[in-house]
Amino acid sequence: MSDGINKVVLAYSGGLDTSVILKWLEDTYNCEVVTFTADIGQGEEVEPARAKAEAMGIKEIYIEDLREEFARDYVFPMFRANAIYEGEYLLGTSIARPLIAKRLIEIARETGADAISHGATGKGNDQVRFELGAYALMPDVKVIAPWREWDLLSREKLMNYAAEHGIEVDFAKQSGKSPYSMDANLLHISYEGDLLEDPWNEPEEEMWRWSVSPEAAPDEPTYLELTYEKGDIVAINGEAMSAATVMETLNRIGGENGVGRDDIVENRYVGMKSRGCYETPAGTIMLKAHRAMESLTLDREAAHLKDEMMPRYAKMVYNGYWWSPEREMLQAAIDQTQQVVNGVVRVKLYKGNVIVAGRKSESDSLFDESIATFEDDAGAYDQKDAAGFIKLNALRLRVAAKRRK
Amino acid sequence: MSDGINKVVLAYSGGLDTSVILKWLEDTYNCEVVTFTADIGQGEEVEPARAKAEAMGIKEIYIEDLREEFARDYVFPMFRANAIYEGEYLLGTSIARPLIAKRLIEIARETGADAISHGATGKGNDQVRFELGAYALMPDVKVIAPWREWDLLSREKLMNYAAEHGIEVDFAKQSGKSPYSMDANLLHISYEGDLLEDPWNEPEEEMWRWSVSPEAAPDEPTYLELTYEKGDIVAINGEAMSAATVMETLNRIGGENGVGRDDIVENRYVGMKSRGCYETPAGTIMLKAHRAMESLTLDREAAHLKDEMMPRYAKMVYNGYWWSPEREMLQAAIDQTQQVVNGVVRVKLYKGNVIVAGRKSESDSLFDESIATFEDDAGAYDQKDAAGFIKLNALRLRVAAKRRK
Amino acid sequence: MSDGINKVVLAYSGGLDTSVILKWLEDTYNCEVVTFTADIGQGEEVEPARAKAEAMGIKEIYIEDLREEFARDYVFPMFRANAIYEGEYLLGTSIARPLIAKRLIEIARETGADAISHGATGKGNDQVRFELGAYALMPDVKVIAPWREWDLLSREKLMNYAAEHGIEVDFAKQSGKSPYSMDANLLHISYEGDLLEDPWNEPEEEMWRWSVSPEAAPDEPTYLELTYEKGDIVAINGEAMSAATVMETLNRIGGENGVGRDDIVENRYVGMKSRGCYETPAGTIMLKAHRAMESLTLDREAAHLKDEMMPRYAKMVYNGYWWSPEREMLQAAIDQTQQVVNGVVRVKLYKGNVIVAGRKSESDSLFDESIATFEDDAGAYDQKDAAGFIKLNALRLRVAAKRRK
Amino acid sequence: MSDGINKVVLAYSGGLDTSVILKWLEDTYNCEVVTFTADIGQGEEVEPARAKAEAMGIKEIYIEDLREEFARDYVFPMFRANAIYEGEYLLGTSIARPLIAKRLIEIARETGADAISHGATGKGNDQVRFELGAYALMPDVKVIAPWREWDLLSREKLMNYAAEHGIEVDFAKQSGKSPYSMDANLLHISYEGDLLEDPWNEPEEEMWRWSVSPEAAPDEPTYLELTYEKGDIVAINGEAMSAATVMETLNRIGGENGVGRDDIVENRYVGMKSRGCYETPAGTIMLKAHRAMESLTLDREAAHLKDEMMPRYAKMVYNGYWWSPEREMLQAAIDQTQQVVNGVVRVKLYKGNVIVAGRKSESDSLFDESIATFEDDAGAYDQKDAAGFIKLNALRLRVAAKRRK
């Protein structure tokens, strides 16, 4: 089973699963393996992956800090769209996959590899996201998804394989391991499996890692001022900061205030429903604040069009079509609207709540007190215009009503 | 200025404004006035309006309790759509107007009136909602909107008019009056004007009437079990109740837990942005819970179509097109999906948060643990299928990538 | 390779391919085969399939005339939606598959079969349409698609297999066979392959079978009056007729007038572009006439919503999702609008052109000459209303323009 | 009735109506008038308007040839969207108004005018299109729409006014005048009124001005090769030409072949249905050919998104929202897709038919014969992938089917 594969770039975390995959790839395909490990804000050291890869004899080892690129070129553009999947999910896992796919392919080109490999299972969305991205960027690449090929489908078999092949398993870590399947990056940490497999079960408090419970959050609210430029946050409380720093800051402060937990049943692209819990402190704040900034600065019809496009956009990202003409097409429309989304939003965080406490825009506010006021507006708006407006809008309804008689 | 008007049905609250309108209609149009006062859950007695109308010499007085009809035939169908306007507003005022318009027209037919009148201003959405509804149901009706016609545009002039015409003003009530323009019904209470006219201002705590602040809410959470049949809540904690009772119950419990406050800048149909604050305790719980019930029971693609249709549906309701072919068309599609939305959702209310703590459906759950599980699924799902799924979905992207080279 | 299959219902045409499939199924799966042959208007006798199946030892043979059901329950509902795929294709093949799938499954239930089989290839859309339908109606059915399994991928191998297994091939017919891959039913006949594989080639005149060329059509036009009830044609030139008869009549008259040819490059669901030529005489007339009937009777906003939904609806049918919640959801919305689509459309057919020559509706016309006239309208419409209408619609644009300064 | 208006820019055709308007503006508003007359391809000389304006004492006279700008910056971008209103109308009148509005405003700025005026009636769409454009570009401009203000509502009164005020009426022209209300530019000529006011009437042959009837067209077809760059036609039969020349050429050749007549009932923005006939030879060819070019070069999902957006885009243009954020937003998405719409389309024109006879693209074709072929594809496509593709797409339908049991 060689398929003529000479070199594979593997998305390598340094953990048990991808270490087994590394060995399995070498044995099964008789090929060279290049490892790629990225810091996208998952909150774990990536350098230890180097020693592990070296110990397994890997010569080409890529370890990279992609946090800024991830926040700036993936998360922020997505938040310009106010993207939410199925009314609840902020797409934390989905948005990280296109970047990983892109780097896998770039490294394949650099190293002359003809295949990529990943540790995503055959039941999930991530395999789709990795592979659609890879194929879109390098159409003849070969993709090896060991979980769809091998027979190591239980943890016991996997451990045995590791033992047989001399793969060192960090037992200390394994034994303290969460019973949940988790994924983390700057935007969120997710939990699936175990008790969550019954959607009637409430998650245990000890499951959550990034946030305190609303009950445990401080009794005093925290206020933040978020400065927007072209739809992106560029400063917090007046202090300019990079995209990744914005997210790290909001994750920390949000988490301290019990903000950003979600617990949903979602529809996977591969066809089944699944239960997931998510902690997305920064994202929860960003969505609320971005909508508030737009509410002041965006034209009504542009805003409504964005709202109608949003579910499609979110579905594209969820399903793995970041690298697609249709996503780029919607992004062009969305970004076109964000030139005027400038100003400041003040939010209040309190025990799980994100409350908009003010919004202003010196340059781009479309809110005109002189028109909206309940007091005399000095002729800025002629109330009599409304009669004609209503009459013409009603005309088709009136003609139809007459017909019905 | 008679326009041949003989009898007018007036939406009459019993307050100063509509009392002045009543008198002004008689004087200006030399016509008979029929008053119509409805209890739609605004939390104020409606019977006092009878005495006031009688005191002003009115002979045909309609006073009605429409709470059940409002909840059952307007609010509940709208929540089947998960309707939110501009990502935030639960359409509390909007959804009450079509019912008022319908009753005004029915009473006009019963009493042989040829016109209707209302107290909505020329700058707002409500005039549009009342009048589009009226024209759609009785195409030749005449509509009198005094605020667009008269010159009593300040409160002082209005008071003087009342004094001159012997209209008794309930000064006790007036003097304690809120500085905000408010509207209330079973679904919400709204606040506009005064300090809110600057969107940078945070609302004062004393403004809110239906809910305690999250800070003031109990330190212990409240759990509720909501039973759904065909998309509607039919029982709370196992106790069957009518639509209006569901809403009253959820308003009370939600309000006690600080649930349902919102503070937004919205785009009015008449063209300007306006700032509004809303308390919608029941609605906030209902939206969250309905989505959770659907997440378990609704097909993915039906759910996504609903999400894409929703902004249009919400806009129709906001703009006053309840009585329109396009709203009925979308409602037909939405209701068609709700046959399977049956089951129970468990929610946790805590200091402003509405947290889904469980969902189940004996009859209609599409969640299949045997497929979604991370453990061995005994062949319920063949992971190898995913390879073909991805390959064919990627085909167009690969062909395009090859072309680009 | 038994997979425990005992009995298979085969969509059987009586031709070479499905005769080979029949034999191959028996040999490969050691199972009993039930044949199903349907007349859906393809213009070939279906009875000969009986003798062929009998000659091959088949005991359970289903031969059915499904033309009325096809026209009434599939084609007509689809035309209520004005469905066109990618601006050109009238979905002739797509709409027949759900009916075949449904009957295959019903026969499987009647005969106790546990599998179905069809002769569609692995590159096309039809396999998807058959199988999605089958799975939606009988979720545990097994589907055997020989073209995806066997190695008889060239015509020569197929002929050899037939010879070896004593399958009588109708050589007279085979030798005169068109070089094109064709599919026909009441709605259309399609052509693919051979010269058409280069999209720069113009089709040869001799390829077309149902219509004369515009050049060869009569020099005199033909006028038809089509009577609509609830969006469906129920009479031609005043003569009431069934759905299938409507289609047969329009196919004949349309074809005589050179109407209904189309030549396109389309996007298949399985990911590639393909070139197809189609003759759809009845469908071409029906689409044009239905739009004309709606133009007179349908409300503007309902019509626009239909137009916006249409591409989604067409895509669902094309991709094989007839038996899906999302198609049923859109159908509910569409059918809801068709109550008023009643009246008569007069069309002129001339050398390939379908020209609307008149439309009227006694009961449901929304066209009001007294309003639309360029002459004095006696007050039916107050031109001054337009000023207010424009002013309020312009308000948001004016506010934005002021900001830009 | 001065409203403080000092100078008005009038869209002036030189005909009776706008000459009366000119005089009426001077008399009614005691203001100076600037005339603006544009050649947008209406097929009439514009220079004669100069002498007429001079004769009426006008000092600032603008006469401009805007054909290239119109074709390049308005018509061509709209055709990139494949825009059709209500399935039939190619928006010929609609697309000319934004350009006129823009020039009126630019001239107002140049000449220091504070108002603009036009000759559109209060029942039509054009008033809306002119005025929305004007307000969007110069928010404080005053707009004078005489047809909504004056009492010259019959032709007789208008003639009398002309006679009284010494306005020379070109009686020769008037007497030979068509009974239809017409509008023409590079994209179309339209007809409304008179016999057309009954939608059951077929138009008279003598009404049409730009095209021969299909019956009268040549018995031999005409073939054309249209070269596309980024979605726009840049050459015909290999000869490079400007946008306006493309349209003039296609209008001439199309008209000679009986191409481009349409006869519809449409829904006006101001609320009523109206009957219109249109001749759009170039546009009819351009729409068909552009779709054919896209069919070869555009990604499937981008094409489908365009199809779903199109009705909204067309509605925006029809309703007069060219100069709006929402139109610009959609245009950004559309233009983004057109980078690859390069190649050649061959069309055959014959007695009213526009038939695509071939399409090719050296650089950007996504049609891959090696994949789509019915012959052996040498492994370019693995038919077995289809099984997994179908299985996963069917999964949700199967789970639902099981639940129903």
Interchain proximity C359–D265, CB inside 8 Å: yes
Residues of A within the annotated binding site for ATP? 11-19, 38, 119
Lookup result for tokens 């008007």: B5
State the pLDDT at residue A1.
41
CB pairs under 8 A between B and C: 78
Q: Which of A299, A387, A403 sits opposite C388 (nearest CB)?
A: A387
Give the separation between CA D373 and CA D330, rounded to whole angstroms.
36
Q: Which of A197, A304, A384 sits opposite B373 (nearest CB)?
A: A197
Interchain proximity C392–A386, CB inside 8 Å: yes
B396: nearest Cα among A115, D366, A337: D366
CB pairs under 8 A between C and D: 282
Work out the average pLDDT over D349-372: 93
C273 within 8 A of D372, measured Cβ to Cβ: yes
Q: Is A63 left (phi over 0), alpha (psi -120 to 50) or beta?
A: beta
Q: Which of A302, A325, A337 sits opposite D337 (nearest CB)?
A: A325
User: Quick check: A2 pLDDT over 70?
Assistant: no
Q: What percent of chain C lies above the pLDDT cut of 70?
A: 95
D19 in a known ligand binding site: yes
Give the separation between CA A225 and CA D367, rounded to whole angstroms.
52
Residue A97 designated active-site: yes
Task: Spell out the domain ranges in chain A.
Answer: 7-69+91-177, 183-360, 370-400
For the sheet with C353-360, list strands across it.
C239-240, C232-236, C222-229, C343-350, C353-360
DSSP for residue D290: H
Give the separation between CA C186 and CA C255, rounded to whole angstroms.
13
- Based on DSSP, count helices (H) and strands (E) in chain D, helices before strands: 15, 14
pLDDT band (50, 70, 90) for residue A7: very high
Choose, from A39, A67, A80, A97, the residue flagged as catalytic: A97
- D274 → chain C, closest CA residue: C372
Give the separation between CA A229 and CA D100, rounded to whole angstroms.
35
- B389 → chain C, closest CA residue: C270
C-alpha distances in angstroms, B132 versus A397, B108, C30?
A: 8, 16, 69
A386: chain C residues, CB-CB within 8 Å: 388, 392
Model pLDDT for residues C177-200, shown as the tens digit of each residue = 688 999 999 999 999 999 999 999
Q: D183-360: which CATH number, 3.40.50.1100, 2.60.40.1080, 3.40.50.1220, 3.90.1260.10?
A: 3.90.1260.10
B365: chain D residues, CB-CB within 8 Å: 403
Residue C181 designated active-site: yes
pLDDT band (50, 70, 90) for residue C369: confident
State the pLDDT at residue A180.
94
D299: chain B residues, CB-CB within 8 Å: 396-397, 400
Q: Which of D329, D333, D337 sits opposite A302 (nearest CB)?
A: D329
Give the separation between CA D180 and CA D178, rounded to whole angstroms.
5
User: Quick check: D178 pLDDT over 50?
Assistant: yes
Interchain proximity A396–D272, CB inside 8 Å: yes
Interchain proximity D324–A299, CB inside 8 Å: yes
State the pLDDT at residue C377.
67
Sign of CA dihedral D126, D130, D133, D139: negative
Lookup result for tokens 């799938």: C101
Choose, from B72, B73, B170, B181, the residue flagged as catalytic: B181
Interchain proximity B365–D403, CB inside 8 Å: yes
Lookup result for tokens 């690859």: D340
B202 within 8 A of B213, measured Cβ to Cβ: no
Interchain proximity A299–C403, CB inside 8 Å: no
**B286: phi then psi, degrees, rounded to nearest 5:** -65, -40
Structure tokens given for A137: 């960027």
The residues, any chain, with a CB within 8 Å of residue A156's CB and separated by 6 or more, are none
Round the average pLDDT of chain A to a whole number and report it.
94
- Looking at per-residue confidence, does A235 or B178 come out higher? A235
D351 within 8 A of D213, measured Cβ to Cβ: no
pLDDT band (50, 70, 90) for residue C173: low
Interchain proximity D301–A325, CB inside 8 Å: yes
D314 within 8 A of A326, measured Cβ to Cβ: no
Q: CATH second-level architecture of A7-69+91-177?
A: 3-Layer(aba) Sandwich (3.40)
Identify the contact set of chain A against chain D, taking CB-CB distances under 8 A.
Answer: 267, 270-272, 298-299, 301-302, 304-306, 312, 321, 324-326, 328-330, 332-333, 335-337, 392-396, 399
Separation in Å, CA of C119 to nearest CA in chain A? 26
Interchain proximity B337–C324, CB inside 8 Å: no
Model pLDDT for residues C52-99, shown as the tens digit of each residue = 999 999 999 999 999 999 999 999 999 999 999 999 999 999 999 999
Would you give per-residue pLDDT tens digits along chain B (405 residues)? 446 899 999 999 999 999 999 999 999 999 999 999 999 999 999 999 999 999 999 999 999 999 999 999 999 999 999 999 999 999 999 999 999 999 999 999 999 999 999 999 999 999 999 999 999 999 999 999 999 999 887 778 888 999 999 887 765 455 456 889 999 999 999 999 999 999 999 999 999 999 999 999 999 999 999 999 999 999 999 999 999 999 999 999 999 999 999 999 999 999 999 999 999 999 999 999 999 999 999 999 999 999 999 999 999 999 999 999 999 999 999 999 999 999 999 999 999 999 999 999 999 999 987 776 656 666 678 889 999 999 999 999 999 999 887
D154 in a known ligand binding site: no
Give the separation between CA A205 and CA A211, rounded to whole angstroms.
10
Give the separation between CA C54 and CA C35, rounded to whole angstroms.
10
Separation in Å, CA of D260 to nearest CA in chain A? 29
Note the ipTM here: 0.96
B260 within 8 A of B283, measured Cβ to Cβ: yes
State the pLDDT at residue C353.
98
C-alpha distances in angstroms, B41 versus B130, B226, B247, B263?
A: 18, 21, 10, 22
Neighbours of chain B (3+ CB pairs under 8 A): A, C, D
State the pLDDT at residue B246.
98
B335: chain C residues, CB-CB within 8 Å: 332
Q: Do strands C32-39 and C232-236 pair parallel, antiparallel, or not at all (unpaired)?
A: unpaired
Residue D140 designated active-site: no
State the pLDDT at residue D305.
98
Interchain proximity D333–A330, CB inside 8 Å: yes
Lookup result for tokens 């509502």: D153
D319 within 8 A of D340, measured Cβ to Cβ: no
Give the separation between CA C332 and CA B333, rounded to whole angstroms.
5
pLDDT band (50, 70, 90) for residue A166: confident
Model pLDDT for residues D197-240, shown as the tens digit of each residue = 999 999 999 999 999 999 999 999 999 999 999 999 999 999 99
D87: chain C residues, CB-CB within 8 Å: 82, 291, 307
Residue D211 designated active-site: no
The residues, any chain, with a CB within 8 Å of residue B305's CB and separated by 6 or more, are B333, C312, C326, C329, C330
Model pLDDT for residues C289-348, shown as the tens digit of each residue = 999 999 999 999 999 999 999 999 999 999 999 999 999 999 999 999 999 999 999 999
- Looking at per-residue confidence, does D326 or D176 come out higher? D326
Q: Is the pTM of this model over 0.90?
A: yes
* Half-sphere exposure at residue D268, Cβ-oriented, CA atoms within 13 angstroms: 28
Give the separation between CA A261 and CA D249, rounded to whole angstroms.
63
Round the average pLDDT of chain D to a whole number and report it.
94
Separation in Å, CA of C151 to nearest CA in chain D? 11
Interchain proximity A271–D392, CB inside 8 Å: yes
- C364 → chain A, closest CA residue: A403
D181 in a known ligand binding site: yes
C-alpha distances in angstroms, B21 versus A388, B33, B119, B167, B172?
A: 21, 10, 7, 11, 21
Structure tokens given for B70: 């409002």
Model pLDDT for residues D297-307, shown as the tens digit of each residue = 999 999 999 99
State the SS3 of B95-160: HHHHHHHHHHHHHHHHHCCCEEECCCCCCCCHHHHHHHHHHHHCCCCEEECHHHHCCCCCHHHHHH
Structure tokens given for B195: 């300090």
State the pLDDT at residue D153.
79
User: Quick check: A147 pLDDT over 70?
Assistant: yes
The residues, any chain, with a CB within 8 Å of residue C26's CB and separated by 6 or more, are C32, C33
Q: Which of D384, D391, D403 sits opposite B366 (nearest CB)?
A: D403
- A268 → chain D, closest CA residue: D396
B321: chain C residues, CB-CB within 8 Å: 301
Q: Which of C301, C382, C399 sits opposite A391 (nearest CB)?
A: C382
- B334 → chain C, closest CA residue: C329
C271: chain D residues, CB-CB within 8 Å: 300
pLDDT band (50, 70, 90) for residue A175: very low
A144: chain B residues, CB-CB within 8 Å: none
